[in-house]
Amino acid sequence: MKTRKIICTLLVFVMLGAVLLAGCGSEKNGGQADGPTSKEAAKEGQGQEGKKPALIKVWGDLSNQAVLEKSYEMINKAFTEKYPHIKLEFDFAQSEQSLSVAIQANELPDCFMVQGDKTPKMKEYVKIGMLLPLDEYNIDLSRYSEAEIRYATVDGKLYCSPPSFFDTNIVYYNKDIFNEHGLSLPGTWDEFIALNETLLEKGITPIGFPGVSEWNRSWPVFAFMPAHANDALQAIMDGKGDLMQPEIIQAFKYYRDFAEKGYFGKDFVAVDKSGWKLSFTNGKCAMIVDGTWNNAAYSESGLNLGRFSIPNKDGIRIVQSSFSNFMTYAVSANTKHPEEAARYIDFLSGLEAQQILEDNIGLVPTINDIVPKDEGVKEMARFDVAGWNLYAVLSSLSTDNSNVSEKLMKEVIPKLMTSDITAEEAAKILHEMATYN
Amino acid sequence: MIDRLKKRPYIFFILPGFLLYSLFVVYPIFSAFFTSLTEWSGIGPKSFVGFDNYIELFKNKQFFTQLTNALKHNLIIFALNTGVVLPVQIYMAYTIYNGIRGYRFFQSMIFAPQFISSTVIVFMGTLVLDMNIGIFNRILEWIGLTGWVRPWLGLPQYGIYIVWLLAAWAGVGVGMMFLVGAMKMIPEENMEAAIIDGAGYWRRLFSIILPQIRTTIFNLLILTYIFSMTSFDFSFLLGGVAGGINYSLDVMSLFFYRVAFGSDGEIGGTLDRNAMGMGTTIACVMFCFILIMALLQLYFSYRKSEVE
Amino acid sequence: MYRIKRKVTADSLILRIYSMFAAFILIYMTYNSFRPKADLLSNTLGIPRRLTLETYINLFTGSKFPYFILGSIIILVFSLALIVMLSSMVAYGIGRFNFRLRKGLLLYFLMGLMFPVQLGIVPIFLIIRSWGLLDTHTGVILVYAAGISMPVLLLTVFFQNLSRDIYESAKIDGASEWRIFQSIMFPMASPVIFSICIIMSVQIWNKFFMPLIFLQSEVKKTIPLGIMKYTQNLMYTVDIAMASSVIATVPILFAFFLFSRKILEGVAAGGVKG
């Protein structure tokens, strides 16, 4: 008897399922009215011009949803207030894979996030005609400098909203530890080394370091490289030098030395990225080299936090710089509403949206009219020269057949930090792969 | 037509599942196989290259070392799962089957890790095993073993064993429940008879239970093999796309994933412009490895059961 | 009950230590989910300054997490029902009847376990889109319902091992094939079906790749996507990551705890004796 009951329940379930599935299907076919939350209903109410509002679908960066969610809620609200005839459907649905599937299935949303000239991706998208050129849509570019516009253009045409924030690496330090031992901020590279030595003598791990995490373990290299070899990197970009210049080898050597001398702590090879950050926030190491985009997380950790940029031998602080892609979006070439989609891009390129993002997460702005969120952001902006980003330089030396920047990330850095290779060998491996213009 | 169906009633039973399965599972495999015969970056046009990708995979030294290394790790995981996890599962299942005191609590607790997502397991691993903030290391310090304080989770020399350990901890419950279910299906009379004959606790396991649940164990072996060969999560979470330092955590699925989606350009020759083509090739090779072994296992287990 | 309770406590001790370890992890996770973020980050090991329910309140009022739970449950229930239906029928067909292609067919159904799902995603996507089921739970349910490899294997073996007598005696009564299946064979397989339900529900509950591709709007997403969202920027949302993991784990475990007790004991014994 018992068993029969189970069957009956199962059958009922299946029947229920069939009914519900049918219901779902018809709802979907009935138009875009699926899942109207009260918020969206309110938005619709504002489009009272008798015209049916144009629906713009936007994909946000899924991997940074937790960071960006609140800012975009506010940005999108401001946008719909300004353009009541445009109905915005913003979903954090963009991952590398969902985008790749959408491209292959020709099902792209109207707008989605791109990374500009930071990776070769946008160029490829343009090559296969996936992106809409935005030049004729009146995007206001008057606030931007040449470098920012270069990020957003391919072959002289504009394809995405230009960046307005900076990403760089910075040294976060624990003020309590510094105060307790009477340490002061380093003014030159030699003082920085001395600082590490002092901390080591006192039995404190100077710099937290995650050997397991491919990107995070490379931040010190990215920070040391422009600090010591920015001119050399510039020479490479101008086609006047190669990767074997002594300054570049020297920067690699510093990285290797730091690992070897124990500045990165014991067993750093096995530290993962959570353990790494938690060791800093718990006061187990005095400093950590991380991205400026994580500023908010550290600020909220309850730590007595300070920030500084690494000085070179002459006390000049040259930081690696790349643009933040938090607000750089492109328009699909297949969009049915190019004008409306371009308005969204234009809105992201404007001060109002950028200030909202700044007030929420506190990045380093590259445009003067954006007011920095707090003292912490100003501290991060305290550097002398915005230098080259090693990854970008190596990308420019890569071809279809040899990816030098990935070689750095996956092979050279791990071997260098475990002292498997010397700094000269590191430079040589990359040099031999590179294609100079 | 209806007459024919009546003669072959199994068609009626098999058809609905067959259709859905073929559409969503088998057809995509074939479609991927065709991709493996092309040079393709994932976007833009494909060009047909025949079996060139397969030839390159085995000829290119870089690829081949990574392939054998990853395969070796998969086989290590399989060996450990068969040699260690399976006996443990049988042991646990047997004690639970015997209704040891508190077995309900035990079976739930052993099964529980199944429900925790792998990301959280790894994070909990950090909270327990990390050198600076891990509880385990604090305990070591506390009992005076300061020299043993290490970041156990990430040490590259133990890499693949840690991957196995986490996966085993998370997965041991399923197989166990499986075996418990099978043991419960053994007729009570058999057990009664054995007890009356005076068979001891372990003897009953070896001479009555194990022979009776043999097919279940065989199935478990096949599934274990498949899961060991397709393991991905923990290698990815602990070592990233790169598969750890010097590929110490690399497995086949991760290798395929790295080539197909991970912009693994530094490998000579085929870079991104053939990411999808080469990625699917690796997956197809992996598929063949698994299929051949599963076929053999299936063949032997079935022959055995038919002989008797 | 003729099983003799073994007096030796060694087994009990081993299991106890092992369970304690798992329990410890669960309790530790639950405990951490009640701590405020700053405390978790900068005082990870220390004595808590205070415990709070804020994270949970935030999770349920300030985010779409209740929708994620709903979505996960809908997908789980319907795909599980379909899987049980389809796989038991297929397995009965293969295991009960003798025909030439049965071994090959079983292997055919096993193939699905051997191929990484990521590779076949584009064709699946195209089918789902052509049916207009993108961004619906139905689409995901259908794709999951096709994943019947493992249940088919388990059930086929079960039906094969059943003694022929049962089939024959059922047939003499003159019942139709469908009736035999539905009222005799299916109930008889219930212990296997039960373990399939547990195993498949765990898998379905934790899957995130399909939902990642097919479910786009926030209100349709599932729990694993939610957890992924909070663990990806762990430093920002470590508190919510903990709380959402607890919610994804503990209630299910609780249900499992109640569930396993009833069915494992009762149905298993009854089913075999028929």
Give CA–CA dist B20/C79, Å, rounded: 13
Please, is A22 exposed, middle or buried when counting C-beta atoms within 10 Å of its C-beta (0-12, 13-18, 19+)? exposed
Write down which residue in A344, A365, A386 finishes a domain.
A365
Is position A128 within any domain?
yes
Please indicate, yes or no, whether residues A58 and A158 belong to a single structural domain of this protein: yes
How open is the CA angle A244-A249-A253, to the nearest 5 degrees? 160
Given this model, what pLDDT does residue B304 score?
57
| CB-closest option in B95, B195, B256 to C2 | B195
Residues of chain A with Cβ-Cβ distance to C242 below 8 Å are: none
Res B129: pLDDT: 83
On whether both A204 and A158 belong to a single domain, the answer is no
Distance CA A396, CA A1 (A): 73
By the 8 A CB rule, do C101 and C248 touch? no
| DSSP classification of residue B248 | T
Q: Which of A4, A13, A277, A294 to mutate to test the interface with C (most CBs of C within 10 A)?
A: A13
Mutate to test the interface with B, among C9, C28, C119, C212 (most CBs of B within 10 A): C119
Kindly list the residues from chain B whose CB atom is less than 8 angstroms away from the CB atom of residue A125. Answer: 43
Q: Are residues A225 and A283 in the same domain?
A: yes
Tell me the C-alpha distance between A411 and A198, whole Å.
Answer: 32
pLDDT, one tens digit per residue, over B55-101 is 988 998 888 999 999 999 999 999 999 999 999 999 988 888 887 77
One DSSP character per residue, A30-59 reads: T-S-SS--HHHHHHHHH--SSSPPEEEEEE
pLDDT range class, residue A20, cuts 50, 70, 90? very low
Nearest residue to C207 via CA among C144, C260, C145, C267: C144
| ∠ CA B118-B124-B127, rounded to 5° | 150
Which of A171-175, A214-218, C92-96 has the highest average model confidence (pLDDT)? A171-175
CATH hierarchy code of domain C48-273: 1.10.3720.10
User: CB under 8 Å to C99, separation ≥6 — which residues?
Assistant: B8, B10
CB contact under 8 A, A407 and B266: yes
**Residue C254: burial class (beta carbons within 10 Å; 0-12, 13-18, 19+):** exposed
B191–C3 C-beta distance less than 8 A = yes
Average pLDDT score, chain A: 85
Tell me the Ramachandran region of residue A362: left when phi exceeds 0, alpha when psi lies from -120 to 50, beta otherwise.
left
CB of A6 less than 8 A from some CB of C? yes
Give contacts of B271 with chain A, Cβ < 8 Å: 400-403
Mind telling me how many Å the CA of A155 is from chain C's nearest CA?
A: 31
Give the whole-angstrom CA distance, residue B48 versus residue B32.
13
What is the residue extent of each domain of chain C?
48-273
- Residues A86, A144 within the same domain: yes
A200 touches chain C (CB under 8 A): no
**pLDDT on residue C146:** 93
What is the tens place of the pLDDT at every residue in C220-274? 999 888 888 888 777 788 888 889 888 888 887 777 777 766 655 544 443 333 2
Strand partners, A329: A113
**In this predicted model, what pLDDT tens digit does every residue of A384-399 receive, in sequence order?**
988 999 988 888 888 7
If asked whether residues A230 and A199 sit together in one domain, one would say yes
- According to the model, what pLDDT value does residue A116 have? 87
Average pLDDT value for residue range C164-177: 77
pLDDT of residue B5: 61
pLDDT at B301: 66
CA C248, CA C205: separation in Å to the nearest integer? Answer: 9
Which residue in B has a C-alpha nearest to residue A408's C-alpha? B266
Same domain, A193 and A124: no
**For residue A221, how many C-alpha atoms fall within 13 Å in the half-sphere facing its CB?**
26
Picking from B27, B103, B114, B261 by the largest number of C CB atoms within 10 A of its own CB, the best residue to mutate is: B114
Lowest mean pLDDT among A330-334, B43-47, B126-130, B289-293: B43-47
A410 inside 8 A of chain B by CB = yes
Q: How many whole angstroms separate alpha carbon C159 and alpha carbon B108?
A: 28
Q: Do B29 and C224 touch (CB under 8 A)?
A: no
Q: In this complex, is the C-beta atom of A283 within 8 Å of any C-beta atom belonging to chain C?
A: yes
The pLDDT value recorded for residue A164 is 93
- Match 């020759």 to its residue by tokens: B269
Which of the four pLDDT bands, split at 50, 70 and 90, describes residue A87?
Answer: very high
CA distance C167 to chain B (A): 14
pLDDT by residue (tens digit) across A261-318?
A: 999 988 888 888 888 888 899 888 999 999 988 888 888 888 899 999 999 999 999 9
Q: How does DSSP assign A285-340, residue by residue?
A: EEEEEEEGGGHHHHHTTT--EEEEPPP-TTS--EEE-EE--TT-EEEBTT-S-HHH
> pLDDT (tens digit, 9 = 90+) per residue, A124-160?
889 888 999 999 998 999 999 988 999 999 999 999 9
The answer to whether residues A105 and A211 belong to one domain is no
Q: Are residues A408 and A288 in the same domain?
A: yes
The set of chains that have 3 or more CB pairs under 8 A with B is A, C
Question: Is A284 in contact with A265 (CB distance < 8 Å)?
Answer: no
All residues of chain A having their beta carbon less than 8 Å from the beta carbon of residue B133 are 275, 278-279, 282, 284
Interface with C, mutate which of B35, B96, B109 (most C CBs under 10 A): B109
* Side-chain half-sphere exposure of B157, counting CA atoms within 13 A: 3
Q: Return the pLDDT at C145.
A: 94
Phi, psi of A75 (to 5 degrees): -60, -45
Domains contained in chain A, number: 2
Same-domain check for residues A188 and A276? yes
Q: What is the CATH number of the domain that holds B255?
A: 1.10.3720.10
Q: Which residue of A has its CA nearest to C38?
A: A301
Q: Do C231 and B120 touch (CB under 8 A)?
A: yes
Which H helix or E strand runs over A208? strand A205-208
Instruction: Using pLDDT thresholds of 50, 70 and 90, give the confidence band for residue A91.
Output: very high
Contact A316, A186 (CB under 8 A): no
Strand partners, A166: A323, A364
Cβ distance of C81 and A93 shorter than 8 Å: no
Q: How many other C-beta atoms lie within 10 A of the C-beta of residue C62?
A: 10
Cα A275 to Cα A271: distance, rounded to the nearest angstrom: 6
Are A279 and A180 part of one and the same domain? Answer: yes
Please check whether residue B109 lies inside any domain of the structure. no
Q: Which residues of C touch A2 (CB under 8 A)?
A: 266-267, 270
Please check whether residue C131 is in contact with residue A26, taking contact to mean a CB–CB distance below 8 angstroms. no
Residue B290 contacts residue B225 (beta carbons within 8 Å): yes
pLDDT tens, residue by residue, B134-167: 888 888 888 887 777 777 777 778 889 989 998 9
- Rounded to a whole number of angstroms, the distance from the CA of C60 to the nearest CA of chain B is 20
pLDDT, residue A89, reads 92
Asked if B225 and B294 count as a contact pair (C-beta separation under 8 A), the reply is: yes
Domain that holds residue B202: 46-98+158-307
How many domains is chain B partitioned into structurally? 1
Confidence at residue B305, expressed as pLDDT on a 0 to 100 scale: 54
The token duo for C264 is 């494992």
Q: What is the largest CA-CA distance in chain A?
A: 88
**Which pLDDT score, from 0 to 100, does residue A143 have?**
92
CATH code at A339? 3.40.190.10
User: What are phi and psi for residue B171, nearest 5 degrees?
Assistant: -105, -5
Q: What is the count of residue pairs from A and B with beta carbons less than 8 Å apart? A: 114
Contacts of B275 in chain A (CB under 8 A): none
Reply yes or no on whether the pLDDT at B268 is more than 60.
no
To the nearest whole percent, how much of chain A has pLDDT over 90?
54
Cα–Cα distance for residue pair C96/B14, rounded to 1 Å: 11
Residue A200 pLDDT grade (very low, low, confident, very high; cuts 50, 70, 90): very high
For residues B264 and B258, what is the distance between their CA atoms, to the nearest angstrom?
Answer: 6
Mutate to test the interface with A, among B35, B153, B235, B245 (most CBs of A within 10 A): B245
CA–CA separation, A319 and A385 (whole Å): 6
Q: What is the pLDDT of residue B144?
A: 81
More confident residue, A187 or B46: A187
A54 residue type, one letter: A
CB contact under 8 A, C267 and A303: no
Same domain, A159 and A276: no
Beta-carbon separation of B260 and C118 below 8 A: yes
d(CA C240, CA C247): 10
**In this complex, do B21 and C122 lie within 8 Å of one another by their Cβ atoms?**
no
Query: Which amino acid, one-letter code, is at A174?
Result: N
**Cα gap A225→B298, rounded to integer Å:** 57
| Angle between the N-to-C axes of helices B159-184 and B61-80, in degrees from 0 to 180, rounded to the nearest 10 | 40
A152 & A269 share domain: no
> Which pLDDT score is estimated for A338?
93
Range of the domain at A292: 169-320+397-433
Residue B257 to residue C147: CA distance in whole angstroms: 21
Chain A neighbors of B242, CB-CB under 8 A: 214, 409-410, 414
Q: What is the pTM of this model?
A: 0.82
Element housing A172 (H / E): strand A169-174
CB contact under 8 A, A270 and B153: yes
Contact A212 B239 (CB under 8 A): yes
Tell me whether C187 touches chain A (CB under 8 Å).
yes
Interface predicted TM-score of the whole assembly (ipTM), two decimals? 0.84
